[in-house]
Amino acid sequence: MTQAGLTRELGRFVARVAREGAPGEARAVACVGFIDTTGTLIAARQEDAVQTLLRALAPLPPGRARLLYGAQTTDAGTAALVNGTAAHALDYDDVALRGHPSAVLVPAIVSLATEMGCSGARMLDAYVAGYEVWGELVDRETGIHHLKGWHPTGIFGSIGAAAAAAVLLELDEEQSMHALGLGASQSAGLMSNFGAMSKPFHAGRAAQAGVLSARLARAGFTASADALEHPQGFLAAVSPRGEVDPVREVAVHARWQLPARRMNVKRYPLCYYTHRSLDCMLALRATCPFAPEDVEGVEVHMSQEHATVLRNHRPTTGLAAKFSIEFAMASAIVAGRAGLGELTDGFVQQPLVQRLIERVYVMAIPADDPHTPAAAWADQVIVTLKDGSVLQGEPVHQALGHAERPLGPADLRAKFVDALAHGRYEGDAQALFDQLAALEQMAVFTL
C-alpha cells in the first residue's frame, strides 16, 4: 500500500473515473447490469415489500427521479431506496462480488442520473467505478461474511454506491474519499433477515446511502481519511475472523476487474446458491422423467456454507421459499421449473410441494472450489424413487448464466421481456431493451 492509504487511494481512483471515464469493454459489461436489473426492478413493482415501503414513505418528497419506471417521481435518495428494494425484491438480480452489486448500483445511478440529466456513458462509468471499488474491498477478506451473519450486498453496497454517485457528481479526490467513508458508516444488512422484506431493503438502503454520501461529501461533509483501513475501520469491523488485508497495493490503479470478472445473471428468482442444484435437477428430469408422487427422497450434495445461507427448511410463503433448497427441488420436480409463477404462497403451500419439501436432504461436501469461496467444486442431486431406483444427476460446476456460461443475447432479452410482463409494464418491453442496450450512445438519460 502506498503511504496515502486505502480510503484515499480509492477516492483517487473514483475521481479519475469521473475525469477520464472507463474503457469500452468495461462499459459493455456494465450495460448488461443495467438491462438485467431494470427487468428485475420492473418485475417487482407490485411486490408486497415494494408496496409496503411506498405506503410507509407516503407522502413522498417532490423531485424528478422516476419511481419504478412509472409516472410517479420523487427525490433521488427516495427513488434509490424504493428502486433498490424493488431490484432485489424477487432475488432475480445478478450475483457477483459475494453479493448483488447491480441491485444497488443501478438504482442509485438511475435515480440520481434522472434527476441530473446525465449521459448514458457517464452512468456506465459510474457503475464501473462502484463495481471496481466493491471488488477491491471484497478481495481483501479471506473469510465468508455470510457465516458471520453479514449480508455483503448491504455492507459493501453503500460504499460501492457512494463511489458510483461520486462519479455522477464529478467529485474530486478529497470529496470522493469522504463519500466512501460516509458510505462505510452506513453499511448494514443481516443474514438473519433473509426470507423477509428486510433483505431487499438492504439493497435499497445501500443505494440510498450512496446517493446521500456523495451529496454530503460534495457539500463539505467529512469522513475519516482511513475509514476503510483503520484497525477500527470498515474492513476490520466486518471481517468474520479478522483475516483481512488493509495494506496491500490497490489493484484498481493497475487493472480493470469488470471485463474479466463479470456478474452472473440469474435464470431463477431464488437465492443463487440453489441454481447449480436446480440446473442438475431439471436436466435429470429431462433425461430421466419421473412422477412427483414416485419420489421417496432427494439428496442435494452442496457445501455446508451454501446450505447455511439456505436457512428456510420448511417454507410456507413464496418469500421464504427463495432461501430454501428443499423448495427449489420440490418446485423443479412438481412444476418442471422454478420461476416467478412458482414463488407464490399458493404454490408453496400445495400439499404435494410440502410433502416433497420434507423429502429433501442436504449432504454436505467440501467447499473446495478455489475460484468461488464457500462453494463446492460442483453441486449434484440424487433422487431415490419408491421402487428403489436411484437417479443421479450430472454434477454442475457453474450454473447457466454464470460468467463462465453466460446467457446469450436472446436469453437475456427473453428474461427481460418476461420480467416486464410480470411487472405489468405499460410500455414497449422490446423497445426499452433496445434503448438500454444503446445506453452508451444516450446523450441524456430519459427512459
Tell me whether residue 435 is in a domain.
Answer: yes
Residue 411 domain flag: no
In a domain, 397, yes or no: no
64 and 165 belong to one structural domain:
yes
Q: Are residues 67 and 213 in the same domain?
A: yes
Q: Residue 401's closest CA among 226, 268, 284?
A: 268
The rounded distance, in Å, linking the Cα atoms of 153 and 101 is 7
Helix (H) or strand (E) holding 161, with range, is helix 152-168
- Threshold 0.95, pTM exceeds: no
Is 21 in the same domain as 77? yes
DSSP label at residue 424: T
Question: Greatest CA separation found in the chain?
Answer: 72
At residue 1, does pLDDT exceed 60?
Answer: no
- Is the same domain home to 256 and 317? no
Q: CA 198, 43, 82 angle in degrees (round to 5)?
A: 45
Do strands 73-74 and 360-365 pair parallel, antiparallel, or not at all (unpaired)?
Answer: unpaired
87 and 236 both lie in a single domain:
yes
> Does the pLDDT at position 2 exceed 70?
no
Q: Is residue 405 part of a domain?
A: no
Task: Tell whether 404 is covered by a domain.
Answer: no
Domain boundaries, position 84: 6-266+416-441
Whether residue 217 contacts residue 179, with contact meaning beta carbons closer than 8 Å, is answered with yes
Kindly state whether residues 37 and 151 are assigned to the same domain.
yes
Instruction: Assess whether 230 and 294 both reside in one domain.
Output: no
Q: What is the CATH number of the domain that holds 329?
A: 3.30.1330.120
> What residues form DSSP beta bridges with 301?
363, 380
Residue 163's domain is classified under what CATH number? 1.10.4100.10
Domain count, the chain: 2
**φ, ψ at 407 (rounded to 5°):** -65, 140
Do 261 and 96 touch, CB atoms closer than 8 A?
yes
Domain shared by 52 and 166, yes or no: yes
Confidence of residue 263 (pLDDT cuts 50, 70, 90): very high
Using one digit for the tens of pLDDT, what is the confidence trace for 28-85? Answer: 999 999 999 999 999 999 999 999 999 999 999 999 999 999 889 999 999 999 999 9
Say how far apart CA 353 and CA 76 lie, in whole Å: 42
Instruction: Please tell me whether residues 288 and 245 are part of one structural domain.
Output: no
Residue 181: Cβ within 10 Å count: 28
Q: What is the mean pLDDT of the chain?
A: 95
Q: What is the pLDDT of residues 216-234, one digit of tens each?
A: 999 999 999 999 999 999 9
Q: Which three cell numbers stand for residue 279?
A: 440446473
DSSP string, 1-63: --TT-HHHHHHHHHHHHHHH---HHHHHHHHHHHHHHHHHHHHTTTSHHHHHHHHHHPSPPP-
Do the domain assignments include residue 1? no
Residues 212 and 355 in one domain: no
- 307 Cβ neighbours under 8 A, 6+ residues apart: 273, 325, 362, 364
- 94 plus 203 within the same structural domain: yes
Q: How far apart are CA 353 and CA 351, in angstroms?
A: 5
Structural domain includes residue 306: yes
- Assigned domain for 202 exists: yes
57 vs 53: CA distance, rounded Å: 6
How does pLDDT run across 105-162, given as a tens digit for each residue? 999 999 999 999 999 999 999 999 999 999 999 999 988 898 898 999 999 999 999 9
Confidence of residue 169 (pLDDT cuts 50, 70, 90): very high
Task: Kindly state whether residues 280 and 214 are assigned to the same domain.
Answer: no
